[in-house]
Amino acid sequence: MAGNVPAPTLDPAAEQAELERYLGDRFDLGRLRQYQATLAEEYAACGDEQAFYRTSEGYLYNLTAFAMTGTKLPYLRELVRLVPPPARLLDYGCGIGSDGLLLLEAGYRVEFADFDNPSTAYLRWRLARRGIRVPVHDLDHGVPDGFDAAYAFDVIEHVSDPFAFLAEMERRATLVVVNLLEPKPAEAEQAIHHELPIGELLRHAAVRRLRSYRIHHGSSHLVAYEPVRSGTIGALRGRVALTVGLLRRRVAGRRLW
């Protein structure tokens, strides 16, 4: 059962050491420590969002540092709770693949998908170093379907059309697991984030077969749902689950939906 699967654990020092080994003399500890500013500066210099996601080297530092924080561990634990190994999973918008690597270690069959860029080049190197041969799909050239679950953690805020993004995930898996971030304008990285219509996105999940809803870190709405429309009772249960989750957080003076 899924509940008997050990929760993924993280070794922050190993994340940093692996990037150091990959970059060699090019590794810059200052860029890792200032990972948000590193990315924001690179984005400002590039000036083109689509080109940025296909060429960014700053993401090597940003995604490594973010993985080191353990922010996404609660999302991974919820995914493990819902779907037992050896389920076939799609890491959609995988970046450097730290989430999928943890799930591979836990016994899942993971495939990755993102643009062909420096981050996925690093991911391929990481996989080869472990002796693992799994697909890393290029979003510009199509991604297969038939997955037990597709997940995207801290990804959807980077796209201009979040509903189209969810539709892509829904076509490929029987369960979608995604987190929705409330905007934090004070953060340097916010320049590359799109503000999400969180209320509408929560409703989108609620009228389908909502499996789970939790709010993590005070501002990250994690939803897991099957992409088929529920009947009236199922939709009502979904709305109730969302309401309970929001009440737990007690969003004061803010209407999300």
Tens digit of each residue's pLDDT (9 = 90 or more) over 79-89: 999 999 999 99
Q: Is the pLDDT of residue 187 over 90?
A: no
Please give the model's pTM, rounded to 2 decimal places: 0.89
User: Would you state the pLDDT for residue 1?
Assistant: 43
Tens digit of each residue's pLDDT (9 = 90 or more) over 200-243: 999 999 999 999 999 999 999 999 999 997 655 455 565 555 65
Q: Is the pLDDT of residue 119 over 60?
A: yes
Which residues share a beta bridge with 226? 209
Ordered by where they begin, the domains of the chain are: 70-249 (3.40.50.150)
Cα torsion 69, 108, 165, 252: sign? negative
- What is the rounded distance in angstroms from the CA atom of residue 153 to the CA atom of residue 78? 12
